[in-house]
Amino acid sequence: MPRSATATSTRKKATAAATAAPAKAPRKRATATESEGKVVKRRAKKDTNAPKRALSAYMYFSQAKRATVQKENPNATFGEIGKLLGDKWKTMDDKARKPYQDLADKDKARYEAEKLAAN
């Protein structure tokens, strides 16, 4: 199958433009002290042996109630289930939140103890 004249001329123009353009010099990565006089801080590596953070009362509530909310709303997406759980949590009074708050307080004490033991 013969090539069309326009495809050949377009290819020639693109090749000519590419060869006429000056070659770019490779960019050198700036170090922390070279980047416009600003000091760039690098994030420290995460300690894999560090204790896990304590969960909040809401997280204990959502772990306990997620399965029931999913059964009540089988077609709900992950985000919608989160919204429903959040709405339930907001409407709960302090008396209903107390068991979850107690769990969170125990977990916070555990975390603080493990953090002191690690240091």
- Per-domain residue ranges for the chain? 57-118
Q: Measuring CA to CA, which residue among 88, 49, 45, 46 is closest to residue 65?
A: 88
Instruction: Grade residue 18 by pLDDT with cuts at 50, 70 and 90.
Output: low
Token pair for residue 55?
């969960």
Contacts of residue 32, defined as CB under 8 A and 6 or more positions apart, other chains included, come to 39, 40, 41, 42
Q: What is the pTM of this model?
A: 0.61
Neighbours of 62 (CB within 10 A): 19
pLDDT in tens, 59-95: 999 999 999 999 999 999 999 999 999 999 999 999 9
117 pLDDT above the threshold of 60: yes
Domain 57-118 has CATH 1.10.30.10: yes
pLDDT level of residue 41 (50, 70, 90 thresholds): confident
* Mean pLDDT across the chain: 83
